[in-house]
A and B are shown apart, each in its own frame.
Chain A
């Protein structure tokens, strides 16, 4: 899960290393995802997210399709 300067840099890195492409999202979307996923992590009453809670975060942010389906 890496940051790149642009999609062009992702494509070149994948090609040069022979990696299969995954999914690429903007840094803004990543920030939304990080806040939704991690913001309760230090709360005294933290409980583990259920699989459905985590899937709902992905879905709400438009991260849908088979790639983003949790097991």
Chain B
């Protein structure tokens, strides 16, 4: 990843936060020109962001998800989706604000509502399960 790709990556993240959603390829082409598309491909290959399988739009700018997920987050006066529970907790961390994570227990379906204040979850009795060993997280980043 060279310095220009890093600048484009930072532009994508800045626009994601400004817009409260992923910038579209069309918007990025308007803002960055023809270099946007090949740069996004390189950033995807470097795991700096994740494109949709057909590479037409952004799927993840971790911890942010461009599509709705079971992990909704309120933080910084906006609603977001995390790609998973780890990312959901990561959104207030990335924004450096308190937040609130809403989800449901995959076992029983009961709502899970967690405030994150001063980097701590309230209440704290919930648990986080990782299904896939770290060595294989990027084999299929959508299922971990």
Chain A complexes with chain B: yes
Chain A residues with CB under 8 Å of chain B are 1-7, 9-10, 12-13, 16, 19-20, 22-35, 37-39, 41-42, 44, 46-48, 58, 66-71
A69 vs chain B, min Cβ distance (A): 6
- Judge whether A22 and B90 touch: CB under 8 Å: no
- Judge whether A27 and B128 touch: CB under 8 Å: yes
Q: CA separation between A42 and B100, bound complex, in Å?
A: 19
Give every chain B residue within 8 A of A1 (Cβ-Cβ).
Answer: 84-87, 128-131, 144
- Judge whether B89 and A5 touch: CB under 8 Å: no
A24 vs chain B, min Cβ distance (A): 5
Q: CA separation between A24 and B128, bound complex, in Å?
A: 5
Q: How large is the interface on B (under 10, 10 to 19, 20 to 34, 35 or more residues)?
A: 35 or more
- Judge whether B1 and A67 touch: CB under 8 Å: no
- Write out, one digit per residue, whether chain B residues 103-144 have a CB within 8 A of any chain A CB (1) or not (0): 101111010101010011100111111111111111000001
Partner of B126, one of A5, A23, A68: A5
Closest 7 CB pairs of A and B: A38-B90, A34-B89, A1-B84, A9-B107, A13-B107, A30-B128, A34-B90
Chain B residues with CB under 8 Å of chain A are 1, 6, 10, 13-14, 17, 46-48, 62-63, 70-71, 84-91, 93-96, 101, 103, 105-108, 110, 112, 114, 116, 119-121, 124-138, 144
Using a Cβ cutoff of 8 Å, how many contacts connect chains A and B? 163
A23 vs chain B, min Cβ distance (A): 5
> Given that A5-B112, A22-B130 are known contacts, is A41 also in contact with B135, CB under 8 Å in the complex?
no
Partner of A31, one of B46, B89, B108: B89
A19's nearest neighbour on chain B, judged by CB, is: B131
- Judge whether A35 and B130 touch: CB under 8 Å: no
Give every chain B residue within 8 A of A37 (Cβ-Cβ).
Answer: 86, 90, 93
- Judge whether A39 and B93 touch: CB under 8 Å: yes
Partner of A27, one of B13, B62, B96, B125: B125
